[in-house]
Structure 1
Amino acid sequence: MPDLATPARPLVPARRVPVRFAGDGAGLGELSWGQREIWLTMRRQRSWLPIGGWSRLAPGTTLGDVEAELRWIMRRYQPMRTRLRNAGGRPLQSVADRGTVGLDVYDCPDGDDPEAFVAALDARDRARPFDLVEEWPIRMGVVRHRGAPSHLSTVMPHLVTDGLGGRIFLAEVAARADAPAETGTPPLEQARWQASEAGRRQNASALRHWERTIARLPRAAAVDSGPHLRGEFRSTALPLAVHALAERADADSSQVLMTLLAQALPGDGPAVLRPMVSNRFRRGFERVVAMVAQRGLCAVDVRVPFAEALRRVGGAAMSAYKYAYLDPDAVAAAFARAGADPDAGLWCNDRRVASRQGFAGPVPSAETVRAAPPGSFRWTVAQDDPFDPLSVDIDDEGDGLLLTVFTDAARLPAAAAEALVRRVETLAVRALEEQP
């Protein structure tokens, strides 16, 4: 989650440039499954889940260049032209074929640092409420320093795209002239297929997997809520151990990390994991800038040696990935029918880029791993608004890994949540001592 602290400096645009745009694919329809899932998350967390960030502009960039970029973005990506409409309490997506979006222009005072200025602008635009019915889903602000555009802030609601789509977006915007003509299946077209007979068959097949797994979950029970905490665990030993374990078992590093998370969970029953699945292996989704990621579900008995736990998690994860493409409303109904806890388990999101494709350098020895210093932990946020009940995000950070844990302290107290991520590192190092 971003830091939403509001900057002290008042930020008032010098002007707002109206940017006219036009694009194809206009229409009104249901949200796609991916959109529906992130919409429900936004409702649960009481946040529009801002994504995006700020960047330096290349020397010589003009205001006209930024206008042209924004116009290109609005034309190419249907989610940027999508606003919500209310239909009896249920949101619909409305894609426009034309319109005007505002580009805000800010003048950084001559004696101020433009980088600090744009960072404050970015934080302010993340903190401001977002009207998903009236606003176009992009806030773009260009900062001028000494009269010349120097920095750009772009903030969007998560309803626009998932993380992989965001990286595709950045790459295509940076190389607009060379961007491929094909943009993938947009959400409105996704929703039409999902309502078709083929889509209903896909949903029914996936739902059978969910119902079998839900039958293994604990019953729902009334619990208190909050405070909701976020903490960060940084480790240099963990990526070394994961590298060695993945090579030893000829396994994917995400499978290794999921297994360690599963074994680190407290309790004696099956470990319940809710991995974020990109769904980009599906036809038409590989390069689409849209929200196609959805949660999977698996329940695995992992109170066994690491090698066997790795095998079990690998099989369960494959099923979770295969069946993570379905209607979130059908999932909610399945939990309700079973009387199961809809918040059970660990929600995990492997967001790595560099090390997910493979670790650099030789395979570390057990001695090298043991010599690495233990990881460090700190709590960063306490708030009333909820995160996911218990969640761990995994990111590359320099030569280490960053595990960000979110917990509802009423369900898993702060000390136990810290112990969970620390135990991931401990188990990884210990697993290297087991016989391969």
Structure 2
Amino acid sequence: MSERIIVPFEGPGAGSGPLAWGQRQVWAAMVESDSSMSMGGVVEVTDRRTTGDFAAELRFFMSRYAAMRTLLRFADDGTVTQEVYGSGETALEVVDADGGPDPAAVAEALADEWRQRKFDYEQEWPLRMGVVRRGGAVTHVVVLICHIAADLGGIAVMMRELAGRDPRTGEPAGPYTADQPLDLARRQLEPASARQTAAAVRYWEAHLRTIPASMFGDPVDRGDPIFCRLRWQSRAMHLASDALCARLGADPAWVLLAAFAAGFERVRPGHGPFVAIGIISNRFRPGLRDVVSPITQDGLCVLDVAGVSAAEAVARARTASMSASKYAYYDPAARADLTERMIRERAEHLDLTCLYNDRRGPRPPAPGDPGPAPAETRVLAEEPLTFLGPKLMVTVEDVPDVVRMTVDVDTRSLSLPDLRTLLHEMEDFVVGA
């Protein structure tokens, strides 16, 4: 049995306007993948919160964040704009699992169904929320957010502010002072943003004139699976990275980027400088830390580690990482125009489909004596995918005590044996250093 609890909401910032830069990049990826790229999932409830409590949480999200009260509008010429509503209604889905399957399985089934079903961008709010009950008690909450409304950093803001509410009244700890999506889009039309875009275009152009046209050779049909996802982790790599960071005064992100470049050089030697598109949060920029809207954009990482020491490779990764971040905030249309122009001038296609996304946040200093490192390095899962846009995407997950990576690969461009070799070469680089 299921029901829907209607939840009214009201908030400031009603209006319409263009998509902000991060939204435009996300929308392009959603169109390419034919997916809402939804984020979220299932959380077990152990603190006796009721359906009323979750309805109040849903009202909080919808009222506080304009991104959750936004629908898309599509013009005949293909232009996409957004309309923010000042009030409306949404629904909390309630599913009773009495006498049937385990509530956890019911919750996972609901989350899977929501992931598979694209949002109706013109009619449906970009936040789906539901609870599963057994015996009248809530056992699980299911939340899915369309990527056009938020990125992982934005979801972290939402969770932090939810936890910071007044425990008696449920009111937020203070007013929402960050830009809402329409505010952000308006700021990106100002002269300072035009100068930021121009600087980014100069940086990208300097590299696009000289980098290898592709990190991959000609495609080879290796049969099924064409697209594959591999999840892999290494405790030894984590401990070695901590030790290397302490010795060099380096950031773990630089170490792993250097390892990726060095590993690729060992698998595909002589290809020239390593080139990857980094997924850059942009939340380090003034005024963007608490924005609830997608503000991640592509950054261009270029570094040559062939024949250099590990310390020098990490130093070059630092420079490449910082440059990629500095020039990853721009008008996506300007970058698209630049790429098309470079393809014409070079008379060859530029394949920028090696992606790197280090999702780890800041961590406290590692303890002086971590103890013996277990030898276990293992593949956690390997499964086929139905679609993959890039040819290789390495995502470093934000988990403690190990380096855990989710790697999506087009096996026509990089075979599974070569991918496994790449991961072990990355580990060897860090442990050996």
TM-score by length of 2: 0.89
Matches of 1:64 and 1:19 in 2, distance apart? 10
Letter paired with 1:360: A
> 385-394 or 300-309: which moved more?
385-394
Q: Secondary structure at the match of 2:228?
A: strand
Gapped runs of 5+ residues in structure 2? 167-171
CA separation of 1:122/1:245 partners in 2, compared to 1, >3 Å: closer, same or farther? same
CA separation of 1:100/1:396 partners in 2, compared to 1, >3 Å: closer, same or farther? closer
Matches of 2:218 and 2:342 in 1, distance apart? 16
Q: Secondary structure at the match of 2:397?
A: strand
Partner of 1:336: 340
Q: Is the 8 A contact 1:81 1:137 kept in 2?
A: yes
Matches of 1:252 and 1:398 in 2, distance apart? 16
Identity %: 37
Q: Secondary structure at the match of 1:117?
A: helix
Q: CA deviation at 1:326?
A: 0.6
Matches of 1:224 and 1:190 in 2, distance apart? 44
Partner of 1:6: none
> 334-343 or 140-149: which moved more?
334-343
Query: Of residues 105, 119, 138 in structure 2, which corresponds to 1:116?
Result: 105
Aligned length: 413
Q: Is the 8 A contact 1:51 1:158 kept in 2?
A: yes
> 103-112 or 330-339: which moved more?
103-112
Matched, 1:218 2:208: no
Q: Is the 8 A contact 1:22 1:74 kept in 2?
A: yes
Matched, 1:308 2:302: no
Partner of 2:174: 180
> 107-116 or 243-252: which moved more?
107-116
Q: Is the 8 A contact 2:218 2:413 kept in 1?
A: no
Partner of 2:421: 419
TM-score by length of 1: 0.89
Matches of 2:382 and 2:161 in 1, distance apart? 34
Partner of 1:106: 95
Q: CA deviation at 1:364?
A: 5.6
Query: Of residues 356, 360, 363 in structure 2, which corresponds to 1:357?
Result: 363
Q: Secondary structure at the match of 1:284?
A: coil
Q: Is the 8 A contact 2:258 2:313 kept in 1?
A: yes
Q: Is the 8 A contact 1:343 1:389 kept in 2?
A: no
Q: Which aligned pairs between 1:381-400 and structure 2 lie closer than 5 A? A: 381-400=383-402
1:397-433 CA-partner distances (Å, limit 9, x unpaired):
45312111111122222222222122110111121xx
Q: Is the 8 A contact 1:335 1:341 kept in 2?
A: no
Q: Is the 8 A contact 1:172 1:179 kept in 2?
A: yes
Letter paired with 1:351: R
Q: CA deviation at 1:345?
A: 5.6
Query: Of residues 29, 34, 48 in structure 2, which corresponds to 1:46?
Result: 34
Q: CA deviation at 1:389?
A: 2.3
Q: Which aligned pairs between 1:24-43 and structure 2 lie closer than 5 A? A: 24-43=12-31
Letter paired with 1:94: E
Query: Of residues 173, 179, 184 in structure 2, which corresponds to 1:190?
Result: 184
CA separation of 1:181/1:164 partners in 2, compared to 1, >3 Å: closer, same or farther? same
Matches of 1:419 and 1:341 in 2, distance apart? 28
Q: Which aligned pairs between 1:56-135 and structure 2 lie closer than 5 A? A: 56-87=44-75, 88-110=77-99, 112-135=101-124
Q: CA deviation at 1:200?
A: 1.3
Alignment root-mean-square deviation, CA: 2.2
Q: CA deviation at 1:35?
A: 0.7
Partner of 1:254: 253
> 294-303 or 122-131: which moved more?
122-131
Partner of 2:169: none
Q: Is the 8 A contact 1:243 1:363 kept in 2?
A: no
CA separation of 1:199/1:396 partners in 2, compared to 1, >3 Å: closer, same or farther? closer
Partner of 2:238: 239
1:161-209 CA-partner distances (Å, limit 9, x unpaired):
1112212211222332253323411221111111222221111111111
Q: CA deviation at 1:59?
A: 4.3
Q: CA deviation at 1:216?
A: 2.3
